[in-house]
Structure 1
Amino acid sequence: MHQICSSMFMNNEWLKLFQMPYELQYQFDRPITDIRQYGASFYLNLKSLCILANTTIQEYQNQFYDQQLISSDLMNRIEFEFKFNKTIDKLRRTISVDVIRMLEVTRGIMHGNQYVSAYFTNWQYQIRSDYRMPLYPIPSRPVLHGVDCSCAQSSQCFENAFFTDWYTDEIFFVPGMLIG
């Protein structure tokens, strides 16, 4: 199990820190890169990835246990350990490649179908207040992250997440946490 999967970031007490009372949610104008808007969702997704990773590892372990190490010659201990370690290394690489490929396919599907994230970090709707028809096509526009990265053109368009101090407007970046 990965360290993060057994850390305090996976428990409900941590997730509650991101919850704001419903009546206050729309009183603060926060940029989309402020992690307080989507922190609980981020950590719930991370928790799901931990479950997925553990399930995947368990499946590969079961496959490994089903294999047999057969040799026509009797192996000495060094040769046996070498073959065993080689098999384990191959298994680790295979798991990593499979999980990364699965995540890339998911991201590609999300980008290709232009799904709008729940927190509008990739696309935003442009609802005009002067339009009165009952059936109104709602135009959307891609979010720009940075100077030249449009979520319409790249599924790898993101920027660093941060907290903004509401009293001083000071920005605190969260290393390794990206949105887009």
Structure 2
Amino acid sequence: VDQFLHGTYISPRLLSQSNFEKQINHIVLQFQKVPGAKFARSLEVIRAVMNGNGFVSAHSLNWEWWRDLNRTFYTLPTRPITMSDGCSCGTRSDCFDSAGIYFELSHVEKFTIPGWKIGCSAVETLLHSTFECLYERNCLNLLLSHIPEGGFGFPPINMSPINSSLASRFQNSSSIQNLTDELFVEEWKVNSYYSSFYNQCAPILCSYKMKREEYLVFSVTKILAFYGGLTVVLQFIIPIIIKSIFDIHDQCRRNTITPVE
């Protein structure tokens, strides 16, 4: 943003206010695409490195350590996490499952967290989830009730649901991936001042052209031009037509047959 604000707009001539605003809006539109594209490329590199190298998630999202109690291992093997639809994080990075709160030491689900997805990495989990639960008081309270006070090394969490009545261009169900693509920007405000541009340009002389059509003069001129052109054409065509008529008449007289008694 600072680089954009320190840029200089140069025009070889003074522009009208409408053209000035069109060019400024076009420049701003091009600028809005640059930061998002750069951030998306950086994020894509991180995702490609993590997925391509098969890093084991600290939260056991893609691989899990396991041990057969009936056997003795010198090394602790791993196995890929398989989602409920059969998608394996050992071969793919785009596997997802619904997130929820489960009873300890069992796979029985207490409740499903709306909009939350579990992926093969923390980054994929975050990007494909939504903030739907944070808009609902009951869901948020239920979620906070399962976080122990002072758990994870953080002080007790006191949160209020997001006010869904506030105007936003994003839906409650928008994925975090969509929000990051838009850089979490709610609105771009552009302030352009034509008066400042005019004063900075400081023109010495201004001139303008006025285009005005005189329909009466224009019509009369066209009629006279048509008449003059038609007169010239007829001067060449009429003698030829008359000569052709006489030639045909003479030919017919010569071809007349007179009966002999």
What is the TM-score when the length of structure 2 is the normalising length?
0.39
- Equivalent residues in 2 for 1:141-180 (5 A)? 141-164=79-102, 169-175=109-115, 177-180=116-119
SS at match of 1:162: strand
Distance 1:132-1:163 versus aligned 2 partners, 3 A rule:
closer
Code of the residue aligned with 2:25 in structure 1: it is N
User: What is the CA distance between 1:127 and its match in structure 2?
Assistant: 3.3
Distance 1:65-1:109 versus aligned 2 partners, 3 A rule:
same
Number of aligned positions between the proteins: 115
Contact 2:100 2:109 (C-alpha < 8 Å) held by counterparts: no
2:15 to 75, 82, 86: 75
Report the structure, 1 or 2, having the larger strand content. Answer: 1
Unaligned runs of 5+ in 1: 1-60
RCO higher in structure (CA 8 A, sep ≥6): 1
Distance 1:172-1:113 versus aligned 2 partners, 3 A rule:
same
Contact 1:163 1:174 (C-alpha < 8 Å) held by counterparts: no
1:112 to 41, 52, 66: 52
Q: What is the CA RMSD across the aligned residues, in angstroms?
A: 2.4
Tell me if 1:139 matches 2:64. no
Contact 1:108 1:155 (C-alpha < 8 Å) held by counterparts: no
Contact 2:98 2:112 (C-alpha < 8 Å) held by counterparts: no
- Alpha-carbon separation, structure 2, partners of 1:169 and 1:159: 13
Which residue of 2 is the match for residue 103 of structure 1? 43
- Alpha-carbon separation, structure 1, partners of 2:18 and 2:62: 53
Distance 1:122-1:97 versus aligned 2 partners, 3 A rule:
same
What is the TM-score when the length of structure 1 is the normalising length?
0.55
How far does the alpha carbon of each residue in 1:109-140 deviate from its partner, in whole angstroms, 9 at most, with x for none?
A: 1111111111111111223443254xx2x322
Unaligned runs of 5+ in 2: 120-261
Contact 2:101 2:109 (C-alpha < 8 Å) held by counterparts: no
Which residue of 2 is the match for residue 124 of structure 1? 64
SS at match of 2:14: coil
Which residue of 1 is the match for residue 4 of structure 2? 64
User: What is the CA distance between 1:67 and its match in structure 2?
Assistant: 2.0
Which residue of 2 is the match for residue 6 of structure 1? none
Tell me if 1:85 matches 2:25. yes
Code of the residue aligned with 2:20 in structure 1: it is F
User: What is the CA distance between 1:104 and its match in structure 2?
Assistant: 1.6
- Alpha-carbon separation, structure 1, partners of 2:101 and 2:114: 8
User: What is the CA distance between 1:162 and its match in structure 2?
Assistant: 2.1
SS at match of 1:150: coil
- Equivalent residues in 2 for 1:4-19 (5 A)? none
- Alpha-carbon separation, structure 1, partners of 2:72 and 2:79: 18
